[in-house]
Amino acid sequence: MTIPSVGTSDTSASSQSQATRPGTGNAHPLRTVVAVAFVVATLFTAWIPSGYLPEPPPEPTYQIAAITLEPSAIPPTIEPRVGIVSGHWSKDPAYYDPGAVCAEALGGVKEVDVNHAIATRVQQDLLQQGYQVDVLEEFDQKLFKYRALSLVSIHSDSCEYINDEATGFKVSAPLSNPNPDNSKLLVACVESRYASMTGMQLHPGSVTRDMTHYHAFAEIDPDTPAAIIEVGFLNRDLEILTQKQDLLADAVTAGILCFLRGEPVNLPTPTSEIAPQNAEPTGVITETISSITPELTATP
């Protein structure tokens, strides 16, 4: 996920979910029955002496306690908004950045296209769940002080053949964060769901400084839980990254929903601690995810 140090762009894609309305039909026969019953009951109560009428039900004696939120108690994020950074993506051609690029023998696949295909699918998945979803550019101006229920950046790993271990995915939270627990939980949720739904292996050994010190982490509002995922290696995982993008998006979505809904998490077991060399063209392996993985129960 080599990222240029400069870049700017205009606003990101933003969408809102749209509720569907069932078509209107003819009046249901039940309405006619109810209407007739109402007329008959009205005539009956008009006829009988008032002494036979039951006492009206007493007013309920309970009251719903009024809830008054103090300004400080109002959640900072009221909108059910989720941000997805489409790795390397920019709407401005002047800042075009393909990310990792595969050789012609591997179809010339560009990382930015894989990332964007998955990001937009995640957006559609979350829209269907009733969330407002921003698909953000890599250096989107919206990222500054960005507030949302969560932010996940989607990247893919190198298309160079590194070694046979260079397969799988990895997720990282900001290394430094004033509110680290939420981001750790977000990472745990994404790791858990992505592993179980895609069958891909967690590959924490190659979490790079590019991930733990990801630029957007320092730009967004510190109260926004955030994570970055490398969804797979473009070399050894090329097939699933290009042929199963719906599945990968569903898995990322499930991870985000796991976090938003507070679902239980079983962490996948890392199968490889061997860090591939030069996993990212500029990546320097300085951190491992073990230092930031939440203390949650790992599933053997």
Positions touching Zn ion (CB under 5 A) are 1, 87, 99, 155
| Nearest distance from C-beta of residue 81 to Zn ion, angstroms | 24
| Nearest distance from C-beta of residue 183 to Zn ion, angstroms | 19
Task: Kindly state the tokens that stand for 245.
Answer: 């993008």
Determine contact, residues 278/160, Cβ cutoff 8 Å: yes
Count Cβ atoms below 10 Å from residue 112 Cβ, excluding itself. 22
The answer for 278, left when phi > 0, alpha when psi is -120 to 50, beta otherwise, is: left
Nearer to Zn ion, 1 or 186 (CB): 1
Nearer to Zn ion, 87 or 270 (CB): 87
Residue type, 168: G
Nearer to Zn ion, 115 or 132 (CB): 115
| Nearest distance from C-beta of residue 166 to Zn ion, angstroms | 15
Phi and psi angles of residue 205, each rounded to the nearest 5 degrees, phi first: -65, -20
Using CA atoms, how far apart are residues 110 and 159, in angstroms rounded to an integer? 9
| Nearest distance from C-beta of residue 86 to Zn ion, angstroms | 10
Supply the DSSP string of 91-112, one letter for each residue: SSGGG----SB--GGGTT-BHH
Nearer to Zn ion, 12 or 182 (CB): 12
| Nearest distance from C-beta of residue 155 to Zn ion, angstroms | 4
Residue number, nearest CB to Zn ion: 1
Nearer to Zn ion, 155 or 193 (CB): 155
